[in-house]
Amino acid sequence: MKTFFVVLTGVVAFLYIMNPTAGIFEFIPDNIPVIGNLDEAGATALIIAALGYFGVDFAHMFKRKESDVKKENIKEVEFEEVEK
């Protein structure tokens, strides 16, 4: 039953995204400054969450490669506690 609701939520969110501003329903009008696109952002988050439920992981796209971390030449600094 939970899987059904996850699929339903993902499908509705996908249809909402694929039906921009000329569609049947719009929760927040896009011409409102700043908050106009929050409903699309929320629908996108629901799609990503639904895909994550089924094992599709987008986190690997945003991870750094070990070679990139070594190139940055980050120095480690040790701190000592000072008594007053």
For 44-84, the DSSP string reads HHHHHHHHHHTT---GGGSPPPHHHHHHT-PPP--------
Higher-confidence position of 64 and 82: 82
Q: Looking at residue 73, what is its pLDDT?
A: 60
Average pLDDT, the chain: 79
d(CA 9, CA 51): 11
Place 22 in a pLDDT band, splitting at 50, 70 and 90: low
Q: Looking at residue 18, what is its pLDDT?
A: 86
Q: Looking at residue 50, what is its pLDDT?
A: 94
d(CA 5, CA 7): 5
pLDDT digits (tens, 9 = 90+) for 56-79: 887 777 776 666 555 556 667 777
d(CA 20, CA 14): 11
pTM for this entry: 0.64
